[in-house]
Amino acid sequence: MISSISELRTRLAGVRSAARATGGTVRDTEPTVALISTVGALHDGHVELIQLARERADIVVVSIFVNPLRFAATSGFEAYPRTPGADAALLESLGVDVVFAPSAEELLPDGSQTTKVTAGDLGLRLEGRARPGYFDGLLTVEAKLINLVQPDFAVYGRRDAQRVFLVRRMVRDLYLDVEVLEADTVRDANGLPISTRIGLLEERDLQAAGKLVDALGAAASSADRGIDACIAAAQSALMGQERIRLEYLSIVDPETFLPADEGHEGAALALIAATVAGHRFIDNTEVYIR
């Protein structure tokens, strides 16, 4: 695993040169590069991102960085799982070309006093309300990684819809020359998005968490009756679920990520966040309001 910025630049120059020499690039021009930024503890959801990256690019770069700026207002930084050996083995088996795993001192030499990218008002809503400072920290590091790697594509999971929206807006606003791609959400047998938290739940809690998926399905099934019906149907699906603590349930306009008003028609996103047995889950689904 590469841990220094200077070594990253040297390695990237080398793999780009090698790709030019062998020819047969995806676009038959300059080698294309895809970046997948992660916090490690990799799982099948990350595999989906890597596979999409491999389809679109000649060179796949994965970063592993537990970003302390994302945990600024919580105690989760030290507790976040770190599995470097397993991560390295998985990435090698998938043929990833470059793995960048810097220390906090390398990527954030000034610590919390670093120059930051702000998510603005939207960074205080939904996930941002539940996790103050989270999106400012996330965007700051995403901007650094995009600047260092200079990828043609940056690949994210559809489960993290607000993250994807904010990264896309940052790319647009800062004129970054990168295309943002979304990979489908990988789900377990209960329909839950794969995450590091699933393995921490007992079977009864997994069953309860599956009700979050049911709630989103109920929202989608009721979309032809309007926004209020969507929300009411989702809430009804969660009735009596004492093991679930709902944080938010919202229908947003995908163009603005603001709450869709009652007159909204067409595509929208139903978002949900809740804790089950102390573990937090987020999910979303597309709904079509008529």
Residue 60 reports pLDDT greater than 80: yes
Q: What is the pLDDT of residue 72?
A: 61
Q: What is the pLDDT of residue 27?
A: 58
254 & 146 share domain? no
**184: CB partners within 8 A, 6+ apart:** 48, 158
Task: Determine the average pLDDT of the residues in 176-204.
Answer: 89
Residue 207 reports pLDDT greater than 80: yes
172 & 214 share domain? no
Residues 53 and 42 sit within 8 Å (Cβ to Cβ): no
- SS3 for 263? coil
Residue 28 reports pLDDT greater than 60: no
Residue 1 reports pLDDT greater than 80: yes
Q: What is the pLDDT of residue 147?
A: 97
83 & 141 share domain? yes
158 & 251 share domain? no
134 & 235 share domain? no
209 & 172 share domain? no
Other C-beta atoms closer than 10 Å to the C-beta of 22 total 10
The residue range of the domain holding 77 is 5-183
Q: Which long-range CB contacts under 8 A does 254-263 form with residues at least 24 apart?
A: 254/165, 257/122, 257/125, 257/126, 257/162, 257/165, 257/166, 258/122, 258/125, 260/227, 260/289, 261/227, 262/226, 262/227, 262/228
Task: Determine the average pLDDT of the residues in 215-220.
Answer: 97
270 & 131 share domain? no
123 & 241 share domain? no
**What CATH code is carried by the domain that includes residue 90?**
3.40.50.620
Q: Among the options 43, 46, 264, 279, which is catalytic?
A: 46
State yes or no: is 279 an active-site residue: no
179 lies in some domain: yes
49 & 159 share domain? yes
Q: What is the pLDDT of residue 24?
A: 58
177 & 70 share domain? yes
192 lies in some domain: no
Residue 30 reports pLDDT greater than 90: no
